[in-house]
Amino acid sequence: MTRLRTRTVAGVAAATFAAGGLSALAAHSAAADDAPGIHVADGRIVEADGTDLVLRGVNHPHAWYTGTTTQALADIKSVDANAVRVVLASGERWTRTSASEVASIVDECEANRLICQLEVHDTTGYGEQAGAATLDQAADYWEYLYPTLAGTEDHVLVNIGNEPYGNDEATNAGWADDTSAAIQRLRDVGYEHALVVDAPSWGQDWAHIMSDQASTVAAADPAGNTIFSVHMYGVYSQGSTVTEYLEHFVDLGLPLMIGEFGYTHSDGDVAYDTILAETERLGIGWLAWSWSGNGGGVEYLDLVENFDVGSPSPWGERIFTGPDGLSETSVEASVFGGGTPDPDPTPDPDPTEPEPGDGACTAELAVANAWQGGYQAQVTVTAGDAAIDGWTTTLPAGVEVTQLWGGTLGDDGTTVTHAAWNGNLGAGAATSYGFIGSGAAPSDAEVTCGTD
């Protein structure tokens, strides 16, 4: 079978399940609600306080450029990223990234207020790439790192293995079993982190192995805290292909991110405008490949030249400041102080129960996309000067909701209350819900908000 993708780096809503699947995943979702940090809730990635976590960031090749990381993380933050995916090496193909290095990376990410996604790159292309490590070998490495990473669950994601299979059909048939086994090993070791698993077929899942078997893998995680990651290169040359893949996971109620993508590659151009627009519409995270240091003919994927933030490439400019790029869509994680409650608030000398519309919260509607006969919108709910433990919004008159996620639609068709996981908001904290509406998008976008 023709290899669809190679890369060399210097020296790269409502869920519908088969019988029994829904109840199994619901039970695992409940388990994830008890997670100490970043976790899965109702098919979305949320922080410990229930705030949506929509990753917006880039990849950084630490394993091959260890001396650049400290400055790179500061620079990545300066272009408005809220997350970074860091390349580590387990020692099978590249020099092992030591526990002390990993500790330093995590500290630097925290200092720069970046969610830190750590990935093992040695697994890349197993079954097709000579010398690639297995997921079991990657699990050995994560076991070695457990004492270093324990307690970082609120700002670290563990990406078990990068692109853990090539295009070998026989090898790829074991993706679900091997991935489930690796997840269970990490849970046995003691990991409570959200775990990220990559798709087979060089991460692009063109044979739909991950999309077909993701619910099985999710149910295999005793903590119910697994996130799926697809890499989008030439397989995703058509915008419709991008949309269909993303919506498939939304419809399943399973959390998805785009762990890597470019604007072109050896297997063809990429519908990157659609990737950016559709992930914003659906609230799905992404991490662009890659900060700098690409070689072997794919230097065009560098976001900045020679690790210099002052020399962005055209690809970098598109990601940093283009439509739906970092400057427009990235929101800093609440774990770093954005919208978190005051730990010692001054009590109100004469507290009264706030009534709807009296300032307890505000809501803002934004139309993300519109077409003949319909539109998609998002409503952002923000708590006022005090924490709230539930909210209710009323959509503008004339709105007809056909599909809604992130909230609960009332019988009247216009009242939306919080979901089970996003009702508690600290002072100034925000959450959101989205919906598909029929007819014309509302010209009067006023939404009222109050507490339950």
Instruction: Please identify which of the residues 128, 153, 163, 332 carries the catalytic annotation.
Output: 163
Query: Does the annotation count 400 as an active-site position?
Result: no
Residue 85: name the closest of 71, 101, 69 by CA: 69
Long-range CB pairs of 102-106 (<8 Å, 24+ gap) are: 102/145, 102/148, 102/149, 103/148, 105/62, 105/69, 105/73, 106/148, 106/149, 106/152, 106/155, 106/156
> First-to-last CA distance in the chain?
57
CB 22 within 8 Å of CB 254? no
Query: Does the annotation count 163 as an active-site position?
Result: yes
How far apart, in Å, are the Cα atoms of 275 and each of 92, 264, 377, 434? 33, 13, 17, 18
How far apart, in Å, are the Cα atoms of 66 and each of 59, 69, 95, 167? 14, 6, 11, 30
Q: Which residues pair with 416 in a beta bridge?
A: 393, 409
Determine the Cα–Cα distance for residues 333 and 80; give it in Å rounded to an integer: 12
Residue 452: name the closest of 384, 382, 356, 386 by CA: 356
Instruction: Please identify which of the residues 260, 278, 280, 332 carries the catalytic annotation.
Output: 260
Determine the Cα–Cα distance for residues 105 and 103; give it in Å rounded to an integer: 5
For 266, phi then psi, to 5°, come to -65, -20
Determine the Cα–Cα distance for residues 20 and 219; give it in Å rounded to an integer: 11
* Catalytic residue list: 163, 260
